[in-house]
Amino acid sequence: MLTTIAAAQLPVLAALLAAGALAKVRTAVNESEPGALSRLGPAALVVERWRLPALLGCAAGEVVLLVGLMLTGHSLFRWGAATFFAVSTYVLWELRRRRPDVGCGCFGEVSAIPVGLRSLGRTMVLTAMAVGTVWTPPVPGWAVVAGLTWSQLAAVAGGLLVLAALSPEIEEAAARLRHRAPCEQRPLDPSTALSRLRSSAAWRAHERLLSSTEPVDSWRELCWRFFVYPGHSHAGDPADVVFAIYLSGRHPAVRVAMVDAAGRPIEIGSLQESIPVSA
C-alpha cells in the first residue's frame, strides 16, 4: 500500500518540476523591470549580476531532474530530486530568516508572496515524496504514468491536493484572473470608441447636423470618451456637437449634446420626451 502511494508520487514530482521550470523561465524572459528578481526566491540571496543565472540555473536543475525521472528509473535522479528539495527547504528557511520580505520564487513571479510556513511545508512534503520514490521499483516515470491503476490515480490526486493546499500561489493566480482592472484604469483605443460611435443610433440621428465627419477634439475621462464635431443647430447657428461613448460593453451607451459658441447647451431633440410637471 505504502509502496503504491510512494510510486504514485513520481508523476506528481514531475508535474511540479515541470511547472516550476516553466514559470521560472517565463519570469526570466519577461523580466520587465530590473530589480524584480531581487524580490524573488534564492535570487535575492546572491549579488545582482548573478540573479538571472541563479534563477535559470535553478530551472535547468529542475529540467534535468524532470527528464531523468521520466525517462529512466535510475536511483541517481531520485536521490537527486530528494537532495534538490531538501536543499530548497533549507534555502527557503534561510530566505525566511534573512529576507522575510521576498517571495520564494518557486513558480517565478507568481510566488512573490513572502515565504511562509505553507511554502516551507510544501518543500518538506516534496522532499518526503522524493525520498519515498527511492524505495519504489526502478521504473521510468513514463511507465508509471502509462500503467496507473485506480488506486495509484487516487494517490496522485491526493498528492496534488496536499500540494495545492500548501500553495499560496493558487489564490494569487485566481485573484489575478478574477479581478481585471476596472474600465477606468484600462488603456483603451480611441479608434474602437470611434467605430462604436459610428455604428450607434445617436450618430445616425445627428449625422446631418455635422459639417465635418472628422472630430475636432477628443479626450477620455474615466470610462467615457468624448468626440467633438463642428456642426450647426436646427436653426442654422454654428455649434459644437459632442458625443460621449461609454467604453465598456459591445453596445455602449452614447450620449450627445450640442453646445453653442458661448458655451450654452442647445436643445437638440425635436420633441421633448417628457415635460416636467411641478405640482
Partner 1 sequence: MPYRSVDRRRVLAAAALGRSLDEPGALPGDGELLRSVIGEILDVSPHLIVIDTPDGREERLVIAPWATAWRGEAVAPADLPPGAQVIIRALRSGRVVDRIWADITRITGVIQSVGSGSGDRTMELYCGPHRGRRTVVIPYRASGRLRVRHPQFEPGYLFDAIGVRENGVAQARLPATSQPPYRWTAVPEPPPGYSGAQSRISGTATWSDAFDHDEQGAAYPMLERSDADCQDAGVSCTGLPYLALGSMLNVRNVCAGRTSVLPIVACGCLAGRFCDRCLECGTSPRGRIVELSATAFVELGGDLTKGCFNARVGLG
**195-202 — which CB contacts under 8 Å span 24+ positions?**
196/245, 196/251, 196/252, 196/254, 197/227, 197/243, 197/245, 197/254, 200/245, 200/254, 201/254, 202/243, 202/254, 202/255, 202/256
How far, rounded to the nearest angstrom, does the alpha carbon of residue 178 sit from its chain's CA centroid? Answer: 9
Interaction pattern, residues 208-247, with partner 1; x per rule: CB under 8 A:
-------xxxxxxxx-x-x-x-----------x-xxx---
Q: Does 269 bind partner 1 (CB under 8 A)?
A: no
Interaction pattern, residues 172-211, with partner 1; x per rule: CB under 8 A:
---xx--xxxxxxx-xx-x---------------------
Least distance to partner 1, CB of residue 220, Å: 5
Residues in region 140-169 near partner 1 by CB under 8 A: none
Candidates 32-40, 48-56, 61-69, 204-212 — which segment interacts with partner 1 by CB under 8 A? 32-40
Least distance to partner 1, CB of residue 105, Å: 17
Cell of 169: 500561489
Least distance to partner 1, CB of residue 193, Å: 11
Strand partners, 232: 238
Number of residues lying near partner 1 (CB under 8 A)? 38
CA-based nearest residue to 42, from 93, 86, 91, 111 = 91
Q: Read off φ and ψ for residue 10, nearest 5 degrees.
A: -60, -50
Q: What distance in Å separates the CA atoms of residue 22 and residue 17, rounded to the nearest whole number?
A: 8
**9 with 129: CB under 8 angstroms?**
yes
Least distance to partner 1, CB of residue 163, Å: 25
Q: Does 26 bind partner 1 (CB under 8 A)?
A: no
AA identity, residue 179: H
Longest dimension (CA), the chain: 93
Candidates 27-35, 57-65, 149-157, 230-238 — which segment interacts with partner 1 by CB under 8 A? 27-35
How far, rounded to the nearest angstrom, does the alpha carbon of residue 162 sit from its chain's CA centroid? Answer: 23
Nearer to partner 1, 55 or 245 (CB): 245
Least distance to partner 1, CB of residue 224, Å: 7
Chain contacts with partner 1 (rule: CB under 8 A): 32-35, 175-176, 179-185, 187-188, 190, 215-222, 224, 226, 228, 240, 242-244, 255-259, 263, 265
